[in-house]
Chain A
Amino acid sequence: MDIVFRDVEHRYQINTPFEKRALYDIHMDIRNGSYVAVVGHTGSGKSTLLQHLNGLLQPTKGTVHLGKYTITAGKKEKHLKSLRKKVGIVFQFPEHQLFEETVEKDICFGPMNFGMSEQEAKARVGEWLALVGLPEEVRHKSPFALSGGQMRRVAIAGVLAMNPEVLVLDEPTAGLDPRGRKEMMDMFAQLQRRKGMTIVLVTHSMEEAARYADDIIVMHQGTIVRRGAPEHIFRHVDDLIGLGLDVPETVLFQRAIEQKFGVQFHAPCLTIEDVIKNLQTLFTRVKRI
């Protein structure tokens, strides 16, 4: 489903002394099947933004179009349940939401809540476990007997079991070790490629945004300040640093080389392979002089 935000604003606790504007002037288009990363400083409004993606929060001004659903400020929306089946949100630390006695029961809870029969749900647990890279053996274990990384996978399997069209991920790799992070990120990339899922990733890691996203949205103090492909976003290094964001180490290294050597690479280096290729070109050129 295509996602379109038009002039969206969100104020918390409106008409109270605690009223706070968390989002404003949000115009955003997310194409069906694309992979978008949302980055920004702590408190920039990223989490508020993503809660608008399945109607958990409704705009206090403007309109959110999610496929055939339209959520307009001030109007009561009736079809949120079917919308929520199509947009799966994986919150921060989703493993804290696990509650059932077995992994199987926990994963089946969501789809059964949306009307799938117990028999069908159970029959498909194997498929969902495989999707998140968990072995069949964990099916009858208590989710609480698993490691943190495995628990997180169970929670994600529970969201995937509802077969969403859009998968929204809020810092899905926080607290995982480097290997766990990479496995998790590769899994989401595969879901996008193989199942055509739209992925919206909220992250602090510029490395992840650079490596995996088609498009990056930069939030600052409640609104979108930059938007574009990684190659575009990481051309403006000082700009990002000014917004309190990090730059991928590959880009920082590139900048150090460019300054020292008095050269300019034609595009930002988003991976270590890009860096190596550019350095090889540089060194081959000197050999040929």
Chain B
Amino acid sequence: MEVVVRVENVSFQYVNEQTYALQNVSFQVYKGEWVTIVGHNGSGKSTLAKLLIGLLPPTSGTIHACGISLNEKTVWDVRKRLGIVFQNPDNQFVGTTVQDDVAFGLENRGVPKNEMEKRIKDALQKVGMENFANDEPHRLSGGQKQRVAIASAIALQPHIIILDEATSMLDPSGKREVLQVIQSLRHEHDMTVISITHDLNEVAKADRVIVMNKGRIALEGTPEHIFAHGAKLEEMGLDLPFSLQLSQRLKENDIPITTDHLTMEGLVSELWTLYSAMSNIATK
């Protein structure tokens, strides 16, 4: 598989801070993969995002994106291939109307007018904001703004999209819709997704999860593998999926479940089997 992001031994220290925000972080992301990075506040997740797009230079170590070594000279070249959506959409608006805002990035890259119009329409439609093309961004609700920010990023058809808690301001259905949009773009354009999140549903959908703790990678693997380390995740201040929590609590409360379930269906079905077996014994 083709490696699109290679982070090697990266450390980062903010000016005037004693401790490192990131320490010896190494990982790779493959083309078309959906990687989720989780960790408590202050674990270094957002710092990592800033390093990946060249907003901050690593104190030591190297980052390669799309085969280019990221440094001061190549940063603009790399950014052409990246899209990023931050948590707070208010910080990322420049246009006076929604469509102007989406156009901004395209104009910067010299996309021809016809193509630009098509892409704007397309991007706004994908996030369900086509009826707001002439609205002023600051009049929109928080979630609507975030959809526009996502439209602006996807209009650029980036190779890699980085979501820095980009859905945290959306309501649940908005979250699902946006994730679906990104999922389908990923399939259509073989886009790679790096998502930084607290949302467990988002974690469960990832191909691979990287757990950050105190500036280091604490765990890495499939969602199933990660959630198998329940106690360790809780120690780091992270949540566990509801079904897993409930499985564990039921065992403590004398309902003899045998597995820690990641899905509700799994848990309901085991409870039913158990219940049926018990009522059979009871009636005999």
Chain A interface (Cβ < 8 Å from any Cβ of B):
12, 18, 20, 40-43, 47, 92-93, 96, 145, 147-149, 171, 174-180, 204, 206, 244-246, 249-250, 252-253, 256-257, 260-261, 272, 275-276, 279-280, 282-283, 286-289
B237–A177 CB distance below 8 A? yes
A283 and B255 alpha carbons, distance in the complex (Å): 8
B172: contacting residue among A43, A204, A276, CB under 8 A: A204
A81 and B261 alpha carbons, distance in the complex (Å): 54
B141: contacting residue among A42, A180, A256, A287, CB under 8 A: A42
From A149, A177, A253, A289, name the one whose CB has the most chain B CB atoms within 10 angstroms: A177
Residues of A within 8 A of B87 (CB): 174-175
Residues of A within 8 A of B238 (CB): 177-179
B142–A92 CB distance below 8 A? yes
Query: With an 8 A cutoff between CB atoms, is B264 at the interface?
Result: yes
A28 and B245 alpha carbons, distance in the complex (Å): 37
- Asked if A42 meets B142 with Cβ closer than 8 Å, knowing A148-B41, A204-B171, the reply is yes
Query: With an 8 A cutoff between CB atoms, is B105 at the interface?
Result: no
- Asked if A96 meets B88 with Cβ closer than 8 Å, knowing A42-B141, A43-B143, A204-B171, the reply is yes
A171 and B171 alpha carbons, distance in the complex (Å): 11
B265: contacting residue among A92, A256, A279, CB under 8 A: A256
B40–A177 CB distance below 8 A? yes
Q: How many residues of B contact A (CB 8 A)?
A: 49
Chain B interface (Cβ < 8 Å from any Cβ of A):
16, 39-42, 87-88, 90, 136, 139-144, 165, 168-174, 198, 237-239, 242-243, 245-246, 249-250, 253-255, 264-265, 267-269, 271-272, 274-275, 278-279, 282-283
A147–B42 CB distance below 8 A? yes
Nearest CB of B to A14, in Å = 13
Residues of A within 8 A of B139 (CB): 12, 18, 20
A sample of 29 inter-chain contacts (CB < 8 A) reads A12-B139, A20-B139, A40-B171, A42-B142, A42-B171, A43-B140, A47-B141, A92-B88, A171-B142, A171-B169, A174-B87, A174-B168, A175-B87, A175-B165, A175-B198, A204-B172, A206-B172, A245-B172, A253-B264, A256-B264, A257-B268, A257-B271, A260-B269, A261-B275, A272-B242, A276-B249, A286-B275, A288-B282, A289-B279
A257 and B171 alpha carbons, distance in the complex (Å): 26
Please name the residue on chain B nearest to A20 by beta carbon: B139
Nearest CB of B to A279, in Å = 6
A148 and B40 alpha carbons, distance in the complex (Å): 11
The 8 closest A-B pairs by CB, nearest first: A42-B143, A179-B237, A246-B172, A178-B239, A249-B242, A177-B40, A43-B141, A289-B282
B41: contacting residue among A43, A96, A149, CB under 8 A: A149
From A92, A174, A206, A287, name the one whose CB has the most chain B CB atoms within 10 angstroms: A174
Nearest CB of B to A194, in Å = 25
A198 and B142 alpha carbons, distance in the complex (Å): 25
A249 and B249 alpha carbons, distance in the complex (Å): 15
Residues of B within 8 A of A175 (CB): 41, 87, 165, 168, 198
Nearest CB of A to B247, in Å = 11
B253–A276 CB distance below 8 A? yes
Nearest CB of A to B260, in Å = 15
Residues of B within 8 A of A93 (CB): 88, 90
Residues of B within 8 A of A18 (CB): 136, 139
Residues of A within 8 A of B283 (CB): 289
A178–B198 CB distance below 8 A? yes
A260–B268 CB distance below 8 A? yes
B171–A41 CB distance below 8 A? yes
A289 and B255 alpha carbons, distance in the complex (Å): 17
A112 and B40 alpha carbons, distance in the complex (Å): 35
B255: contacting residue among A179, A256, A260, A280, CB under 8 A: A280
- Asked if A179 meets B168 with Cβ closer than 8 Å, knowing A42-B174, A276-B253, the reply is no
A174 and B87 alpha carbons, distance in the complex (Å): 9
Residues of B within 8 A of A245 (CB): 171-173
A177 and B198 alpha carbons, distance in the complex (Å): 6
Please name the residue on chain A nearest to B279 by beta carbon: A286
Please name the residue on chain B nearest to A277 by beta carbon: B253
Residues of A within 8 A of B173 (CB): 41, 244-246
B268–A42 CB distance below 8 A? no
A19 and B284 alpha carbons, distance in the complex (Å): 72
A180 and B165 alpha carbons, distance in the complex (Å): 15
Residues of A within 8 A of B141 (CB): 42-43, 47
Residues of B within 8 A of A180 (CB): 40-41, 237
Nearest CB of B to A8, in Å = 18
B237: contacting residue among A47, A178, A253, A289, CB under 8 A: A178
Please name the residue on chain A nearest to B237 by beta carbon: A179
B142–A272 CB distance below 8 A? no
Nearest CB of A to B26, in Å = 24
- Asked if A148 meets B42 with Cβ closer than 8 Å, knowing A276-B249, A287-B278, the reply is yes
Residues of A within 8 A of B169 (CB): 92, 171, 174
Please name the residue on chain A nearest to B39 by beta carbon: A177
A174 and B254 alpha carbons, distance in the complex (Å): 36
A283: contacting residue among B165, B172, B278, CB under 8 A: B278
